[in-house]
Structure formats: C-alpha cells, structure tokens
Amino acid sequence: MKINADLSQRAAVDSERLDWVPSPMPGVERRMLERDGEEVARVTSIVRYAPKSYFSEHSHSGGEEYLVLEGTFSDNYGDFPVGTYVRNPVSSRHTPHSEGGAIIWVKLWWMHPEDQEFVRLNTQDESRWEATEDPGIEAMPLHRFRNEETVLLRLAPGAGMAARDLPGGEEIFVIAGTIEDENGGYIKGGWLRSPIGRAPEMRSPEGATLLVKRGHLADLPPAPPAA
C-alpha cells in the first residue's frame, strides 16, 4: 500500500476529513497520512483507541514515535495523558491499550537503530517553552538525533516563518489553530510534508501550535522488510 509514499513530493492532508480504517485489533482504527508497505510499513498515522481497546504485545522493529492528542494512552511502561510525547526505540516491546480511549499521532519505521533513547515528555509543562529568534514564536524541543529534529512550535496571532531551505525536508502537524502558505491553509488536524528543497513563507493569522520534524527525509533508516 502506498499513500503519499513519494518523499520527493509535497503532500498535504486534512486528517479530520479522512475515514477511520480498522486495524487488525478490534477497537483500534487509523487515519493514514503516509504509508509505504502493507501491515508492516513505514507510516505516519492518526490512531484512535476505543475505551478498553488494546494491541497485543509486540516489538517495534523500526521504532515508534507518538504524541497523545486526546485521552490517555497506556502500556506496560505507564499511563500517558494528552500532551505526552513518546519515543520507543528500535527493538523495544510493549502492550499498548487505553482504558478510557485515546487518539495519538504516530510514526513507525522512521527511527534509526542507533537512536536508542526512550523519551517521555510532558508537553503540557509550560516551563519547557523557549523563546526563538522569530518574533511571536516559542519552541519546545522534543528530540534530536543526527540531523533529525522534533519540536513543538507555538505561534502568536500574526506570527510566521520566513521561506527557508530544507536540506532534510520538513513535516508539520497542526495541533491547534491555523497556518497558511502560498499553497493554502491548514487547520487543526492538518498535516503537511515539504520535501528536500525550500519551503515558502508560512503565517498564522489566529495563532497555532505545531508539531514539526525537520531533517528526517535526508537520512532515512532501514525500510521494513518486504512482505
């Protein structure tokens, strides 16, 4: 299965308009933003766990990265409420479930085997926000490995990012608010991938909170094995 799988091309998706697709486990559904492969695949998805749903114990051969968007997501490592950012490195194992239901943004098979750091961050902690050189924009660093950087950005109304070179590409997920560029507007749930090259100026008329990844398209980890 290939969905926005050509990483040399720009992609933009309004995830709120996508259908929920059942997973192999009852009560767990997905909205697929990008996918390259079948059930074992390199993916970026929005995943919804119904109350009391679970996935059987499994290993993440390509690593797992997620942000809890709604509810509380749990596994044998603990309970992760809304706003928790998590990285489970390559070959880690867990048994995910949700007692009351949860929605997460998640990436699978995007992690390098050498990046073995477990990450558990509470992004609701206001003390983590840092000022940037751009007026009206605050940043919350989440993780860095080689040239890959993952960060939250909070834009005040009217703030924006200038046109910028992207030697390793860029991916943006809109957690709250709205952003605009020359190609259109993106609301809550919007996902935008810019390939290696240059991104246009972007502004937020009303303010926004964004999950941003940069650099990851130039240094891809090993792909999952073909089915």
What CA–CA distance (Å, rounded) separates 166 from 192?
Answer: 14
| Average pLDDT over every residue of 160-189 | 97
- Per 3-state DSSP, what percentage of the chain is helix, strand, and coil (rounded to 5)? 5, 55, 45
In this prediction, residue 214 has a pLDDT band, given cuts at 50, 70 and 90, of very high
**What does DSSP say about strands 28-37 and 97-98: parallel, antiparallel, or unpaired?**
unpaired
Task: Spell out the domain ranges in the chain.
Answer: 2-122, 126-214
Q: Do domains 2-122 and 126-214 have the same CATH topology?
A: yes
40 or 12, greater pLDDT: 12
| Average pLDDT over every residue of 33-42 | 92
Q: In 10 A of CB 18, how many CB atoms?
A: 17
User: Which tens digit of pLDDT belongs to each residue from 115-172?
Assistant: 999 999 999 999 999 999 999 999 999 999 999 999 999 999 999 999 999 999 999 9
User: Which tens digit of pLDDT belongs to each residue from 94-113?
Assistant: 999 999 999 999 999 999 99
Asked if CATH classification 1.10.760.10 holds for the domain at 2-122, the reply, yes or no, is no
User: Which tens digit of pLDDT belongs to each residue from 50-94?
Assistant: 999 988 888 889 999 999 999 999 998 899 999 999 999 999 999
104 and 69 in contact (C-beta within 8 Å)? yes
The fold of 126-214 is Jelly Rolls (2.60.120)
Give whole-number Cα distances, 34 to 42, 109, 143, 162, 205, in Å.
8, 12, 21, 26, 27
Residue 227 burial class via C-beta count within 10 angstroms: exposed 0-12, middle 13-18, buried 19 and up: exposed
In this prediction, residue 225 has a pLDDT band, given cuts at 50, 70 and 90, of confident
Nearest to 218 by CA among 194, 200, 183: 194
